[in-house]
Structure 1
Amino acid sequence: MYSLVKKLTKVIIGTVGLGVIGLSGVVSQPAYATDGGASSDNSVITVATKDQLPGTKSPDFLYGRGMVTEHQSDPAYNGRLYATSEHYVTGTPSFVISESTDHGGTWKVVGEVKDLNKGVGNRYQPFLYELPEKVGNMDEGTLICAGNAIPGDLSSSSIVLYKSTDHGRSWSYLSTVANGGKAVMGSTPGPIWEPFVKVIDHKLVCYYSDERDQTHYAQKLVHQVSNDGVNWGSVVDDVDFNNSAARPGMVTVAQMPNGKYIMTYEVVNSGEWRTNFKISDDGLNWDSSSEGTRLAYGGSPYITVLPDGTLVANTAGQGDLFVNKNNGTGTWEDVKMPMDDAYSRSLTALPNNQVLLVSGGRLKAPDSTEDNILTSMVYDLPAQYHRATVQFANQPTSLAAGKTANFTVKLSDSSAADFDITTDDAQDVTVEKQADGSYQLKVNSNFVGQKDVTVTATKKDDASFSANFKVSITGQAAPTPDNNNSTNTGTTGTITTPSSSSQATTIKPSTTQPTTTSQPAATKKFKQFKVYAKTGIRVYKGVDFKHVVKSYAKHSRTNAKTFIVTGKAYSKNGALRYKTAAGYITANSKYVANLYYQTAPKKVTVLAKAGTYEYTKPTFSKANRSTHLKKGTIVKVKKLVKQGSLSKFVLTNGHYLTANKKLIIAQP
């Protein structure tokens, strides 16, 4: 791939004609975080230098890649950042894995992906990925590293996958997706380049650049699919231009709020060097003959989607970011930021709507005598560039049987919008739009008990704009008559008393003897609790999962679908199910988890974009609010206390903090 770099750096971009090479600017000198963590946001932080890794030689690092963990079974390992890159050494190359436990403030090496299969070295184009669900025998949270295994003489190219089940500390060979020819552009047989891995429709998909079909194309973009990460299906074309000399390359793919997928890739075509994108309904069918739409000039692009639905992209040739708020349609805004561009600078969406950038610096030839530094930045995209979100005002947190409460809903940018408002328990809580544009919630006057109900607002013309809030509803049962104090009048009559099942029990006393009412044995009430969906999930009508009531797409943890578990049941084959107001869901911990922490970690980090509050008392009222904690803030925990189905943390300063996993995340 790099055999022509020296020559290319002497010519103008318009005459390059080699799309997989992205020329870039010079990386700025890194700033070092003084105290790490969130205070280092928007600063360039050093991940690695040649002095830190013995045996490193110029150009040291290229092709930086980042990742954040969100699906680890041990909550202490969620929210950690990881980085890797091409690493140039005097011996056999490998991909060095660095980890940050303080939100990108500092980094340390924790692992190394060595070539355990071909023995030639993992040389070019690494890519890091965390499985969001189980694939084959690999559990959710398994880390994947893809890359190009290439010998020192560049005589072959192979896209290989490795996996780690111990948080990047050790890596084992998983599979070879495909094999190609000599790792020099235009060679025969042609090489393969630049893997990008993603789970789509419960399968592992590997996209990559392919020069093997040189009879028809200088290069094209393709993908292969695997059910288990080991066995790979046939090659499917994604981008193959009508111009056989064109070179689409360096593909990245992300899913948008509307459920569709967007692909970015660079194009070198008739002297033009640019980044294009196109959109697919399912991420697997891309209309390969379509060249797509130009996003920006410059190559080696990358795209990600923030939890709030904002699309963020970048290219080489510019240090800017490009953002889009409307599922890839309309305007892409140009955002200036304090980090220089680089050869294939990666973007990773963080749970708090920030962006992790990892840069290996400007493009250099393998025999360059200049040094690159591997750097990172956690970037806080200015508020005006974020996609609008659905916001509520005056929404109630609790409501008694027979009572009503009004609330309003709007988009955060105040643009015109009409909403559908629904609840997940229409039997007990109804909602009606009022003449003034507000919405009124009403609790059934016959409701008895206590439970939480979810109220959801969805924009009518675009269901990707959606949000919800919880309201706790309560209702008291009618008092039970004291039958033992009744006086028998000697006439036949009836006494009606509520039973544990809320059904009336009719008793006919004798005309000659006093009668006492025998109450049925009390049934132990199920203690309700809340769970959130860790991945896409379906609600079924019955415990045997034959009829789907509703499907929910996977969302980030902060926007995950939540359910109130009102009971438990077992399928015919013995699988545990959770009963909810809408139907039955799986109880498998790979798919759902308790919404509230049940044990106290040593410290937690705020995930919520709007932050959250410390409270001086366990009752979370406005009067008891203390410090507002911004997203990314880390606080120390003393213990956990429970209030019904809720959990709260007691901090070391004596204040209280929510233990809701959508708002905070545990740290080691």
Structure 2
Amino acid sequence: MKNSHIVSIMYDGSIHKPSAGDYTITMSNGKQVTLQDSDLTITGHNNGVSDVGNYSVDLSEAGKTRIGNLLGSDFTLVGGSSTATFNITKQKGTASLTSGSKVYDGKKVSASNYQPTLTLRDALGHTLDTIKLTSGQYNISSDSSAVGTYEITLSSAEIKALEEKYSNYDIDFNAVKASFTITSQNIPDNHGGGSSVTPSTPSTPSNPSTPNSSSSSSSSSGPVTPGNVAVKGTVVYAIKKIGLYDSKNFAKHNRKAWYVQKPRIYRPMFVVTGYTRDSNGVLRYKVRDVNHLTKNRGKTGYITASWNYVRPVYYEDSHATITVINPRGVNGYNKASLTGKVKNYKQGTVLKAKKVVSHNLTTRFVLSNGQYVTANRKLVQMGRHAIPTKVRAKGAINRYSNVKLTKRNKHYSANQRKTFKVYGFDYSQANSTKHHGTLRYRVDGGYITGNTKYINIIK
């Protein structure tokens, strides 16, 4: 028995079994027998496989019986040779580590209140795990109390443990780096503030260094320090479900709107117009909704200022590579004002950046070719992020002309096992504040589901 073609799929966590259409079997007399799925088994794994590996495929006991019956009493089915294989390859993944900062206080980095968070994502940018690292899991280069920037990397023991735990993913843990910056006391610390522009007068409320927390998603627990308070006039977006309230004291009766957690490319955005504190001293942002395609556009009120729930929309730090994630791509321009369009970079394009520059209260990446592109986290993502380029239907599947999958324009039967070239991804319910949205793939002629229950990612 042998493969009729190379059978190789990318790891997706599902259990896979060999498909009869991918293999052929030839008898010693030259006769070929049409196979059925139940005729095949993965050697040593009768129930299928899910982990990365190169597996051998052979006839199942049921298959041997069925084919023996087909051959009739004039033939005896004896052991033969099989070169058939079934391969599951590693899925590309990424890892990122949070940076930190503080104003000089005479203490070493290791003695600071800094706990880096490691975030692991799959090829689509979906979070696999979020790990708060402790001492021994990361290294600090030249640990000191002096003003400066210190490189943070994963320890060799942690890298080994991660490689074993996430062996089905292709993640370069040795390349994961972050930084911890100690600034002098007379220089305002604006880490995470959404812009490198420093206001001429303090724009944060009194005593912002006091950590504050509250008890639910409506009031959003999490520390608020000078290093992660957004500058007035900059834009933040919600990374979890949050509420917009009429009052600084959050309660159900004064809640104006809920904003459900959304995929990164459709996270709700708000302009910070001021600050206040509730009756318990918890910091709040006074904001204006700037989600122009939603029913809440233009609404004003108060939201949490917790770093665990809201973050700056614009990157502050430079990154060597960025990936375009906006379904409509991003434009490259001649000027930092994003005028003088040069070209459009499609979703999935990996760009080389050499620095970040400020423009008013936003930032831009300067590419290696001198062009400027937005540094908006909803449109681009630091690092290299692989997007599937080919998928195969597991059974019958429909294609639609719209991302909501309500206008079917083509049906493919289960026997076709249709293979699609993928041009990008998107989500339904893009402008809904009540629904998260569901992954879709853009293919020739429309959209198909991105649910791995119905498709296999080939590459």
TM-score range for the pair, normalised by the shorter chain length? 0.3 to 0.5
- Structure holding more helix per residue: 2
Structure index of larger Rg: 1
Q: TM-score, normalised by structure 2?
A: 0.37
Q: TM-score, normalised by structure 1?
A: 0.26
